[in-house]
Amino acid sequence: MLSHYHRKMSLTSRPGSGGVPRRPDETSAGGLIVRTEGGIASAAIIGRFDRRGRLRWSLPKGHLEAGETTEEAAVREVEEETGISGRITARLGSIEYSFAAEGRRIHKRVHHFLMEAVSGELSDADIEVAEVAWVPLTDLPQRLAYAGERRLVAKANEILAESA
């Protein structure tokens, strides 16, 4: 049985398109927002229930509003979904995937950024979010549900190590 979500880090091509990248039907943005306390770097992540009722942990993200850049949307969405305001420090990359909704296949691209936590209190007040948590960066690969996001965390760890 096919998974509800099909994720990959590279551009998706349509069959018979000669490898021409497919344009996304939807574009979103979000990020990995990090704080360091007591020498431990942690990221704010969100938990949502999937269609089977399982809690799936992921990076905060959401749709771009009219006229917004991906950077503006990422900062806004992270704050809306976690309660934490952040400052972008690096671009992490994009994840593309397809899913079925309302009887059609939707191709989506999500732009992710590395962010430094600036202010705010962790909150699950957003109706789309079931839980939020600060998780040490070293524990994220075991906690995040999606391989593409785990790859972005590995990239973020490389960036953070270079700047330390």
Per-residue pLDDT averaged across 20-29, rounded? 75
Which pLDDT score is estimated for 99?
Answer: 82
Query: Does 69 reside within a domain?
Result: yes
Q: What is the pLDDT of residues 114-157, one digit of tens each?
A: 999 999 999 999 999 999 999 999 999 999 999 999 999 999 99
pLDDT over threshold 90, residue 23: no
pLDDT over threshold 50, residue 18: no
Contact between 127 and 47 under an 8 Å Cβ cutoff? The reply is no
Query: Does 53 reside within a domain?
Result: yes
CATH number at residue 58: 3.90.79.10
Which pLDDT score is estimated for 98?
Answer: 87
Total domains in the fold of the chain? 1
Burial environment of residue 56 by CB neighbours within 10 A (0 to 12, 13 to 18, 19 or more): middle
Which pLDDT score is estimated for 141?
Answer: 95
Query: Residue 77's domain spans which residues?
Result: 6-163
Phi then psi for residue 32, to 5 deg, are -105, 105
pTM of the model: 0.83
Query: Does 158 reside within a domain?
Result: yes
> For residues 161 and 164, what is the distance between their CA atoms, to the nearest angstrom?
5
> For residues 61 and 94, what is the distance between their CA atoms, to the nearest angstrom?
12
Query: Does 127 reside within a domain?
Result: yes
Query: Does 1 reside within a domain?
Result: no
